[in-house]
Structure 1
Amino acid sequence: MDPDAGEPPAGDQFLTVERDWVRVEAGSSSEAPIVTLYAGGDPGPQAGWEDVEEITMVSTTGFLALCDGGYNPVHKANLATAGTGTYVIRVHASDRSSEDKKPRFLIQVIPGQRTGAEPAPPSATIEDSEGPLLVRTSFTQPQEWARLLDALDEAAQKHHAPLTVIDNPAYTGHTPAQITARIQRDDEGWPATTLVLIADEQALASAEYPVLAVNNLPDDDDAPFRITLAAASSLVVNMELSNTDFREWVQGVDADGIYREEHY
């Protein structure tokens, strides 16, 4: 994973390691893979993947990057967040042998060694959840995310808005369409979740936390809109009680495209 450090490892195992390198066997699919990267503290293994394996490597240069099959960097961002030293590389994979799907990978680069302790429980997934969701798609602002959760807890205590938080790096950078495509549907096509709030980079960059509200009701084509976290609880409550419809909220946004009024 450091293209300037020695020879990459050879082998046909899922994960093969050498100093400064981990080789990931992409599988037999001819499609270009979709890779999501995570670097930082251990979030634990994620659910919903066909294969999950981890291996320990040593970085002697303090630089780690994702490289393609020709050992050229695909992303130049340095994944070695703790500089030189030992890292756990945990790789999640699905569709590696599929003929009609692109193989998907989630690669976690975690400073330190495996401790032998029980791993953290898998994060909640969109696919296994139902009811209104708050989905985190940006993982570069951990302090802002923590403050958002604190504000959400305070609002929930006041208004009892039913909301499941999805804090899972597998959904990094997901668009509204990608998120709604993962929501389960029953035999009649009714989705398990009809309202999604997305905490993306833009939402976390503002003290108002203007999350993106997405309507997932069948046959509705309302455009997503942004709503402050303070007002989002009222949206969730009223939508769950069928007191209002999504379009009324879209029409009430301010000039900057953000809805701020609370209704209880």
Structure 2
Amino acid sequence: MKMKEWGDLTVMDPDTGAQSHGRGLLAAGEDWLHIDAGSALENPLVTLYAGADPGTEEGWDEVEETTVISTTGFLALCDSGCEPVRKQNLATAGPGPYLVRVHASDRSTDGKEPRFLVQIIPGDRTGAEPASAAPTIEEAAGPLLVRTSYDQPESWARLLQTLEGGSEHYESITVIDNPIYTGFAADQFQARISRDEEDWPASTLLLIADERTLTSGEELPLLAVNNLPGEDDDPFRITLAAVGSFIVNMELGNTSFGDWSRGGDADGVYRGQHR
């Protein structure tokens, strides 16, 4: 991948607001890594790898490694202004330590593009094994149900029991239960949903189980969010009992998002069902 501009690189969670800095090829802090691109004025070429340790590659001018602690479970390649170059989450095992190994060549060679191979490996240099990875928005597709509140475990358990023991209408829903999304708003999720080469989102329908959902008794009114390109419907609440019909009809194209959002009761919660 060729960067759009010359300058240093960062691997970080841009939502933390951390400012990367340092001297030498690598400098690291909590939720960030700074990579010095050298004095070459050409746009860097970067190859990314995230996963099990593939080992060091031969043939590079420099190879250095360090440990980065991710507190949020999200790391992305960013430019010198800390803006994400792509939305791919490199923190494949969620929050915890990551060994980051950077190979570099031609960092200060006039007329040559500096080249980097950045390997992001779960665990640290002591060989510690990370916990099993929790699912993330960036890796998911189809209708999503995301938990953002963790103070109501009994309500969440009841919600899951309903999904697991309910009709086949719930089967297409992917549940994302990952504490890194605590307190997230709808637009933050929409920004992290992956897109294909034609900019079509992997998930066009999002259901959020937030604090209101999990503190509203038996109805469990989820926040429904339309992520279809070109549509700007406002989110609305829909009870868990009505979600199955909602998902099926939306996937079949029988109804639009607006058909459901306009059918809510006075408190803004949809409780009926389309047939």
TM-score category (smaller protein): 0.5 to 0.7
Q: CA deviation at 1:99?
A: 2.4
Indicate how the Cα distance of structure 1 residues 209 and 117 shifts in structure 2: closer, same or farther if over 3 A, else same.
Answer: farther
Instruction: Please show how residues 88-127 of structure 1 align to structure 2 within 5 Å.
Output: 92=73, 94=75, 98-101=79-82, 120-127=131-138
Distance 1:192 1:95, change over 3 A: closer
* Residue 150 of structure 2 corresponds to residue 169 of structure 1: no
Give the deviation of 1:140 after TM superposition.
2.1
| Partner Cα distance (2:72, 2:68) in 1 | 5
Q: Give the Cα separation in 2 of the matches to 1:151 and 1:122.
A: 24
Q: How does 1:5-84 map to 2 (within 5 A)?
A: 24=30, 27-28=33-34
- Aligned length, in residue pairs: 183
Aligned match of 1:128? 139
Name the residue aligned to 1:191: 201
- Unmatched runs of 5 consecutive residues or more in structure 1: 1-11, 16-23, 30-46, 55-88, 109-115
Provide Cα deviations, 1:67-110, integer angstroms capped at 9, x if missing partner.
xxxxxxxxxxxxxxxxxxxxxx97756359852227999867xx
1:263: how far off?
Answer: 2.9
Counterpart residue number, 1:205 = 215
Q: CA deviation at 1:28?
A: 4.8
Sequence identity, in percent? 50
- In 2, distance between residues paired with 1:52 and 1:134? 32
Q: Of the two, which has the highest radius of gyration?
A: 2
The residue that corresponds to 1:21 in the other structure is none
Q: Deviations over 1:4-39 (max 9, x none)?
A: xxxxxxxx9868xxxxxxxx485559xxxxxxxxxx
Whether 1:149 and 2:149 are equivalent positions in the alignment is: no
4+ residue runs over 4 A deviation: 12-15, 24-29, 51-54, 89-93, 95-98, 102-108, 116-120
- In the alignment, which residue of structure 2 is the partner of 1:247? 258
Give how far 1:237 is off: 0.8
The 1:149/1:25 distance shift into structure 2, 3 A limit, reads closer
Deviation at 1:217, TM superposition (A): 0.7
Q: State the TM-score, normalized to the length of structure 1.
A: 0.59
1:66 — aligned with what?
Answer: none
